[in-house]
């Protein structure tokens, strides 16, 4: 594990426009806790210094505070010991499709590789709260590798960073396929 890998992943997600500005966050389990994106950092411009260590009691080290969603990462790592990476993005097609239909269907064959149970869609819960953290972590504990947060974003998890990233890409690709298929059928 290297923080440079997270920096590169953040830049990749920004290049796909899955995050804009200060949106989203990434984390990796390490050293009895996890490293998570610092608050107010832009994924497109991050460096390794933009990651903050948080222990499993929720205490962070250093002068910069962690992302406001650090509770969600902490709850996932506590409830799902198989998870080593958490990716939280704000992909437009996934959010739009979930708002319009209440679900995300995995429509392309590659998506079947990355998911056992599909995508869980949660109702709107205030971002940055313990309520949201617990709701997402319970879905991950129940075996969901992707959780869509209505009017907010997408959370994917993985044993490896590549798998967590590909789960994000697969959900957004499925949402795009659904959107364009719906438009073309009219």
Residues 25-81 pLDDT 10s: 999 999 999 999 999 999 999 999 999 999 999 999 888 999 999 999 999 999 999
State the DSSP code for 123.
P
Show Cβ contacts of residue 95 under 8 Å, excluding neighbours closer than 6 positions. Answer: 148, 150, 151, 152, 153, 154
* Residue of 23, 48, 63, 69 with catalytic role: 69
Q: Which of the four pLDDT bands, split at 50, 70 and 90, describes residue 184?
A: confident
Judged by phi (left if over 0) then psi (alpha if -120 to 50, else beta), residue 32 lies in: left
What secondary structure does DSSP assign to 10-77, as a single string? Answer: HHHHHHTTSS-TT--EEEEEETTEEEEEBTT--GGG--GGGEEEEETTS-B-SSSPBPTTHHHHHHHH
What pLDDT is attached to residue 95? Answer: 97
Give me Rg for the CA atoms of the chain. 15
Phi, psi values for residue 54, rounded to 5°: -125, 130
Q: pLDDT tens for residues 113-161?
A: 899 899 999 999 999 999 999 999 999 999 999 999 999 999 999 999 9
Show Cβ contacts of residue 111 under 8 Å, excluding neighbours closer than 6 positions. Answer: 170, 171, 173, 174
User: Is residue 172 flagged as an active site residue?
Assistant: no
Among all chains, which residue has been given the structure tokens 């997408």? 154
What pLDDT is attached to residue 110? Answer: 83
Report domain extents, the chain.
Answer: 3-184
User: 73 with 54: CB under 8 angstroms?
Assistant: yes
User: 173 with 94: CB under 8 angstroms?
Assistant: no
Q: pLDDT tens for residues 95-105?
A: 999 999 999 99
Domain 3-184 sits in CATH at 3.40.225.10
Look up the pTM and report it: 0.96
State the DSSP code for 88.
E
Cα–Cα distance for residue pair 37/84, rounded to 1 Å: 15
């Amino acid at each position: 594990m290297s923080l440079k890998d997270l920096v590169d992943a953040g830049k990749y997600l920004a290049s796909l426009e899955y995050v804009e500005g200060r949106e989203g966050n990434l984390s990796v389990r390490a050293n009895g806790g996890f490293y998570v994106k610092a608050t107010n950092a832009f994924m497109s411009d991050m460096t390794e210094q933009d990651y903050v260590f948080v222990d499993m009691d929720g205490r962070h080290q250093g002068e910069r505070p962690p992302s406001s969603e650090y509770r969600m990462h902490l709850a996932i790592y506590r409830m799902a010991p198989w998870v080593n990476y958490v990716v939280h993005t704000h992909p437009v097609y996934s959010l739009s499709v979930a708002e319009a239909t209440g679900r995300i269907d995995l429509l392309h064959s590659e998506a079947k590789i990355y998911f056992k149970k599909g995508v869980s869609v949660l109702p709107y819960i205030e971002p940055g709260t313990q309520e949201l953290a617990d709701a997402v972590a319970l879905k991950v504990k129940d075996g969901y590798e992707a959780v869509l947060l209505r009017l907010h974003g997408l959370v994917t998890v993985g044993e490896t960073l590549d798998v967590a990233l590909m789960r994000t890409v697969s959900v957004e690709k499925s949402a795009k396929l659904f959107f364009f298929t719906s438009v073309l059928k009219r």
